[in-house]
Amino acid sequence: MSVDMQMLKEYVEWESGSLNRAESTVLLHVTHSNLQARMFEIRLDRHMSVERVKEKLRAHVGTGSTFMHLTLLDCNGQVVADMSNDELKLGYFSPQDGWTVHVTDLDPYSLSAGGGLEDVSLVQKYEISEEDYLKRENNFRRWKEEKQKADPNWSFAKEIQSRQDAQRMKHDPTYVPEAPKERITDDNYLAERAAEMSVGDRCEVTLGGKRGSVQFVGKIPSIAPGYWVGVQYDEPVGKNDGCVKGKRFFECPPKYGGFLRPDKLQVGDYPELDDLFDEEEEGEGVTAEGAASSST
């Protein structure tokens, strides 16, 4: 191990005292011959016998202690010792934090073999025929059809909101639910606001003050009718890279892109913010004020 890597290792493993552990405690990783999962920093005591270590690991890996063969590996994955003597203490092998105990499963009928404890595709699922499903009185499809028959604009979001409102009204009789938002159907929704914006304009989002530049102005039917504005933010505070529903509208790095309605942002002289520069300016202002007050 190089000197730099050793220094990095010591920095990462530096004991701050926050773990509140005994001097004989060692943190070891655990791997298993049949499992892809790797268990990190299992607390073991150096005074534990190998047999006792196996008993503790049984709850983590599912292999019976009598079918375990333990191998101790160092930080580089090199074999330090085969822990085949159950009577020896763990401390006999001088384990260090960050080393690994590898469990070899010797059980020919082990449940973990072949992905038995990890591969969910091997689990038999409950299945029901279409005919039997429709025979049920209270099935989901019937419930959804009844909701849509009563309200053609019904959605899960509206259902959740109505239930939340009912709960709040139950606890607070003075609570008045917000009026439901009208569904936008106008294909030219906010066309006038969109006409005021052009690609390349600097902009600022009304709520939150995020700044960036306009990269797209137009319609995106896959989201909703009306006009949208694509923005490349100055910082990674967006949700995409200029691509929506598999279609690309502009190019930008991941997390720098976003799409908003034209009424959610303003265009104009909005230069990129420099937090460090602003802080220095504020500090200079305070110093100047202090100097002025002292001179008077």
The full DSSP string for the chain is --HHHHHHHHHHT---STT---TTEEEEEEEETTEEEEEEEEEEETTSBHHHHHHHHHHHH---GGGEEEEEE-TTS-EEEEE--TTSBGGGG---TT-EEEEEE--TT-TTGGGTTT-GGGSPPP---HHHHHH-TT-HHHHHHHHHHH-TT--HHHHHHHHHHHHHHHH-TT--PPPPPPPP--TTTTHHHHHT--TT-EEEETTT--EEEEEEEEEETTTEEEEEEEEEESSS-SSBSSEETTEESS---TTSEEEE-GGGEEESS-PPP-HHHHHHHHHHHHHHHHHHHHH-
Q: Above 70 in pLDDT, residue 185?
A: yes
If you average pLDDT over residues 38-63, what whole number do you get? 93
pLDDT at residue 27, rounded to an integer? 93
**Least confidently predicted of 13-22, 58-67, 161-170, 228-237:** 13-22
Question: From CA 89, how far away is CA 92, in angstroms rounded?
Answer: 5
Q: Above 80 in pLDDT, residue 19?
A: no
pLDDT confidence of 288, banded at 50, 70, 90? very low
pLDDT at residue 119, rounded to an integer? 86
If you average pLDDT over residues 210-239, what whole number do you get? 95
pLDDT at residue 3, rounded to an integer? 85
pLDDT confidence of 115, banded at 50, 70, 90? confident
If you average pLDDT over residues 77-99, what whole number do you get? 95
First to last CA, the chain: 64
Task: Write the pLDDT tens digit of every residue in 117-132.
Answer: 888 888 888 899 999 9
pLDDT confidence of 183, banded at 50, 70, 90? confident
pLDDT: which is higher, 152 or 294: 152
pLDDT confidence of 2, banded at 50, 70, 90? confident
Q: Above 70 in pLDDT, residue 244?
A: yes
Q: Above 90 in pLDDT, residue 137?
A: no
Which amino acid belongs to residue 274? D
pLDDT: which is higher, 233 or 117: 233
